[in-house]
Structure 1
Amino acid sequence: MTSSIRSPHIGDTTPAASIPPMPGSHRVHDRLTGLVAAGTATLFTGAFALLGATFDYPDILDREAGEILTRFADAGSGTRVLWYLMLVSSLAFIPLAVLVHRNLRSRGRGSALNDLTAVIGVVAGVLQALGFARWTFAMPYLSDTYVDPATTAATRDAVVVTFEVFHRYLGGALGEHLGFASPPSGRPVSPCCSAAWLESRD
Structure 2
Amino acid sequence: MLPLLLIAGAAGANLAFLGLGSVFDYPDVLAKPAQEVLTQFHANQFVISALFLLLAASAALMAPISTNLAKRTNNPGPIVPLGIAAAAVQVIGLMRWPLIVPFVDDPDTFHALSTVLGTVIGETIGYALTAAWTFLVARRSGLRAIAWPAAALVATGVLIPLGVPGADLANFLGYVLWTAWLVALTIKIIRTARPRRALQAA
TM-score exceeds 0.5? yes
Structure 2, unmatched stretches of 5+, are 143-191, 193-202
The one-character-per-residue Cα deviations of 1:39-84 (angstroms, maximum 9, x if unpaired) are 1111011101211121111111111110010000012421221011
Q: Secondary structure of 1:103's partner?
A: coil
* RMSD, aligned α-carbons: 1.7
Q: Does residue 58 of the first structure (1) align with residue 27 of the second (2)? A: yes
CA distance in 2, matches of 1:125, 1:69: 26
Identity %: 25
Structure-1-length-normalised TM-score: 0.66
CA distance in 2, matches of 1:188, 1:48: 22
CA distance in 1, matches of 2:119, 2:113: 9
CA distance in 2, matches of 1:169, 1:175: 8
Equivalent residue pairs, number: 143
CA distance in 2, matches of 1:91, 1:53: 23
Structure-2-length-normalised TM-score: 0.66
Counterpart selection for 2:127 from 164, 175, 180: 180
CA distance in 1, matches of 2:141, 2:81: 15
Structure 1 residue 190: Cα displacement: 2.4
Structure 2 match to 1:191: 135
Structure 1 match to 2:37: 68
Counterpart selection for 1:128 from 83, 90, 107: 90
Give matches, 1:98-177, under 5 Å.
Answer: 98-104=67-73, 109-110=74-75, 114-142=76-104, 146=105, 159-177=106-124
Give the aligned residue type for 2:26: Y
CA distance in 1, matches of 2:133, 2:65: 14
Structure 1 residue 115: Cα displacement: 2.0
Q: Secondary structure of 1:45's partner?
A: helix
Moved over 6 A (4+): none
Structure 1 match to 2:7: 38
Q: Secondary structure of 2:100's partner?
A: helix
Larger relative helix fraction: 2
Give matches, 1:11-22, under 5 Å.
Answer: none
Structure 1, unmatched stretches of 5+, are 1-31, 147-158
Q: Secondary structure of 2:77's partner?
A: helix
CA distance in 2, matches of 1:50, 1:182: 25
Give the aligned residue type for 1:193: V
The one-character-per-residue Cα deviations of 1:85-110 (angstroms, maximum 9, x if unpaired) are 11111212111111111222xxxx22
